[in-house]
Structure formats: C-alpha cells, structure tokens
Amino acid sequence: MTPKKLLKRAPHGQAGLTMVELLVALAISLVLVLAATYVYLATRQSDRALERSSDAQETGVYVLQLLGREIANAGFYPASRSPMVVHVSQTGMIDTYPPLQADPRMATDWMNTAAGWPPTAFMTGIFGCDSALFDTASSTCGTVTAGTGDTIVINSFTSDSMANVVGSRFDCTGANVAGTGTSLGDDVSNGVRKLNTGGNPPLTPHTGLNENLPPQLPLFVSNRYTMRPVKIALDQSDISSFSLSCSGNGRSPHGKTDTAAYQPIVSGLSDLRFAYGVYMNDQSLAPARFYTATEVGALAPIVVNGQSLNGWQRVTAVRVCVLTQTLGGGTRLADKAGAARTYLDCSDTPKNQPTGSTITRYTQVFGLRNALKQTF
C-alpha cells in the first residue's frame, strides 16, 4: 500500500472583524463614553451647586458677623475722654455719646447747637431708614422705594486719642475721617478735633497737624450699611444681584453729594432688614419689642432717670435679617407637583423658592453695648 503523502497545510491568514462586529464594538464604546460623560457632567453640576450653596451660606454668615461687630461699636466714645461738662441729660447715667458742648462752646467741641449740628441721624449711636437709602448729603432718609433694603447708620468715635499712638481713623470704605493737611478735613466736624500741634490747650486750641500723632480729641465716624444692585460675572455671563454696600463720612460726609457713596462689599443678597429693640421704662434695659425705623422715630419720649429720652435714645438691640440667594442657578431640583418649596422672608411671610436657585434667611439679634449701661 502506497503510503499517503502528507500534505503540509498552508497557514491561514489572520481573520478580520466583520462589519457587524465592528458596529457592535463601536456601539458599546459609545455607550461607555456617554455614560462617563453623563457621570462627569452630573458630578460637575453637583459640585457647582454645592459650591454655590456654600458661597451663599458664607455670605449670610459674613454679613451677620460684619454688621454685628459694627453694631456692637455703635455709640462708642473713649472712656478716658469724658464730656466737657455735666449735662442734665446725663442725670443718673454715665453717657458719653454724643460728647456735649461746653458753655460757652469751645472750638474743639463736636456738638454745635447754634449751627444745628449734629443732625438727628448723628445724635445717637444708631439710626435707620426703612426701604430707603440714607442720603449722605442731607443726612436724612431718602425716598421709600419698593424692593430697596433698609439702611442702618452706625455712629461712634475713634479711640486713638487714648494713648500716644495712631489708631484707626478709617470709615467702612477705607477713607480717613480725619482728612489730610492742616485745613478742615472732609468731615468738617473733625476739622479742629484732629489738630494736634501748636497752640496752648486748653487756653488756645492746636493749630497744626502731625499725622504721626493722635488727634487731640476722638474723631467722629459714621458708617451706613444697606444693599445695592450689582452686576457680577459668572460662567461667562452677567448676573444681576444685590450687594451689601456701605458709605462712610470719611468719603461722603454731611453736606457732600456723592453719587458713588455706597461701595459694594459682598454680593449674593436678596433682602436686608433691620428692627430695633426699644426699652419702655427705667426698670430694665431689655427691649419691650422690636420696631421698624419709622416706628422708632414716631415713639413718644418717656422720662427715664429724670431725663426725657426719645425712641432712638432707648434702642438697646438690633435684629438683623439677611436673605441670601444662590447665584447662577442649578442649585435646586424641580419641586413635586403641588409641593412647592417655600422660605420665610424677613417679615415671616412664606414665599415660594425661585426656580433653580435657593433663598436662605439668616437672623440674629445684637446688643448695643454702649447703650447697655445704667447706674442705680
């Protein structure tokens, strides 16, 4: 039998993918890419929503802390600098604000009753305007406008005359309330008090100014806080918001018109309201209730410790209400049908949350330390 000849099998070439297999592979890859993209976008959106919510929370806390520190300083006058004379309005109490004028008046006196100074807004450590700006030129409340936040006016005096060092003489805008040079400063009420060289006090007042030395007497500082509309850039677009804004008597003193008096501090506000706690008798300095600025101004004077005190002279606490709103949207999912999410505004009225963003209320009561003093 003839042996069969073994034939060497020719090697096969590498088999390729069919069109169907290629399309299936592409489809699977596309699904994976789309899934990864969705996860990335969802994570990015969640991160941005969390960041914007955190920013709004930080804004609310920061505004309360800033205003709280300012309110605590309202009516401050250095304890080492007593008023020039004992006045009937100080009977039974140790008042240092406002510093009273001598009789006859001295050139260094801050108060000048003959000239009508100071205006009502500066007679006490605290003052306010409801739904209106404080007009820096006239030192009065402007026109009430819907949608405008309240304005609070916080008055005090510097403490750098207590020692041979230079202290803070700046208002909330960073302007020096003493001005510069030897002439009257931007705020004329500080013009003579800031001088510290020359002359022979108390016979003759100082005539010159050395900015490296403290003023001869404490200087007047008035800061006003409100909210103002602003435009901010976010994600390559302009967003309308409101900013906590301030003006000070270093930049915008009484009698000076300043169209840019209010400078923005921090944006993201939706509303800003103040209520003032007023005590009603001489038995306690605890507020009987909280009033709006308009209501405080309309309160009838009462006699406390032998002196007649108006509403603003009896304010011992301020309640601050701040509404913050997240910027840029995308921070809140759609509400269930018939279950719209709500928030309480500063008047305790329930309102629906705006679409896509979140409004949060922050409220705190601050005591006026310099008004919480009483002798027995």
pLDDT digits (tens, 9 = 90+) for 170-207: 899 988 888 764 443 468 888 888 888 988 876 777 88
End-to-end Cα, the chain, rounded Å = 140
Backbone angles phi, psi at 54, to 5 degrees: -65, -40
Rg (CA), the chain: 33
Q: Does 157 reside within a domain?
A: yes
Q: Is residue 194 part of a domain?
A: no
Pairing of strands 237-248, 140-141: unpaired
Q: Is 336 within 8 Å of 360 (Cβ atoms)?
A: no
What mean pLDDT is predicted for residues 59-73? 95
Q: What is the mean pLDDT of residues 288-317?
A: 93
Q: Can you give the pLDDT at residue 181?
A: 46
Query: Over pLDDT 70: what percentage of the chain?
Result: 80
| Residue 369 CB neighbours (<10 A) | 15
- Provide the H-helix boundaries in 174-320: 293-298
Q: Has residue 310 got a pLDDT over 90?
A: yes
What percent of the chain has a predicted confidence (pLDDT) above 90? 42
User: For 75-89, what is the mean pLDDT?
Assistant: 59
The pLDDT of residue 214 is above 80: yes
Residue 145 covered by a domain:
yes
Question: What sign results for the dihedral spanned by CA atoms 54, 146, 171, 67?
Answer: negative
Please, what is the average pLDDT of the chain?
Answer: 83
For residue 160, the model assigns a pLDDT of: 77
Would the pLDDT of 345 be above 90? Answer: yes
Joined tokens for residue 292? 């709006």
**Residue 282 confidence class, pLDDT cut points 50, 70, 90:** confident
| pLDDT attached to residue 304 | 84
Strand, coil or helix: 86? coil
- Per-residue pLDDT, averaged over 275-292, amounts to 92
Residue 346, φ and ψ in degrees, nearest 5: -70, -10
Please state which of the ranges 110-124, 140-154, 196-210, 254-268 shows the lowest mean pLDDT.
196-210
Average pLDDT, stretch 363-372? 92
69 part of a folded domain? yes
Q: Is 209 in contact with 190 (CB distance < 8 Å)? A: no
Banded pLDDT at 237 (limits 50, 70, 90) = confident
Taking alpha carbons only, the member of 330, 337, 226 closest to residue 273 is 226
* Angle, CA of 363, 366 and 369, to the nearest 5°: 175
> Does pTM top 0.75 for this prediction?
yes
The region of weakest confidence among 146-150, 327-331, 347-351 is 327-331
Q: 180 or 248: which carries more pLDDT confidence? A: 248
- In this predicted structure, which of 58-72, 92-106, 245-259, 317-331 has the lowest mean pLDDT? 92-106
89, with CB counted inside 10 A (0-12, 13-18, 19+), is: middle
What are the backbone dihedrals phi and psi of residue 47, each rounded to the nearest 5 degrees, phi first? -60, -45
pLDDT, greater one: 213 or 154: 154
Q: Report which DSSP code applies to 240.
A: E
For residue 302, the SS3 value is strand
Map residue 375 onto helix, strand or coil: coil
| Mean pLDDT confidence for 264-291 | 93
- The number of folded domains in the chain is 1
Per-residue tokens: 43: 């994570």
Surface-to-core class of residue 48, CB atoms within 10 Å of its CB (0-12 exposed, 13-18 middle, 19+ buried): middle
Once rounded to an integer, what is the mean pLDDT over residues 157-177? 78
What is the three-class DSSP state of 373?
coil
Q: How confident is the model at residue 293 (pLDDT cuts 50, 70, 90)?
A: very high
| pLDDT score recorded for residue 242 | 94
How far is residue 40 CA from its own chain's centroid? 38
Mean pLDDT computed over 32-47: 73
Instruction: Say yes or no to pLDDT of 99 above 80.
Output: yes
| Whether pLDDT at 238 is above 70 | yes
What CA–CA distances, in Å, run from 26 to 23, 34, 35, 36, 130?
Answer: 5, 12, 14, 15, 66
pLDDT of res. 188: 85
- Model confidence at 343, in pLDDT bands (50, 70, 90)? very high
Which residue range forms the structural domain that includes residue 65?
Answer: 48-78+123-162+223-371
Q: Give dist(CA 178, CA 190) in Å, integer.
A: 6
Domain membership flag for residue 329: yes
Instruction: State the pLDDT confidence band at 213, using cuts at 50, 70 and 90.
Output: confident
The answer to whether residue 307 scores a pLDDT higher than 90 is: no
Please name the residue ranges forming H helices in the chain: 19-72, 293-298
Q: How far apart are CA 96 and CA 82, in angstroms?
A: 7
Q: How confident is the model at residue 350 (pLDDT cuts 50, 70, 90)?
A: very high
* In-domain check, residue 106: no
- Helix, strand or coil, per DSSP, at residue 262: coil
Token pair belonging to 157: 């005096």
Q: What span, in angstroms and rounded, lies between the C-alpha atoms of 248 and 93?
A: 29
On whether residue 251 sits in a domain, the answer given is yes
Is residue 189 one of the residues assigned to a domain?
Answer: no
Dihedral through CA 28, CA 34, CA 35, CA 36, nearest 10? 110
**Banded pLDDT at 2 (limits 50, 70, 90):** low
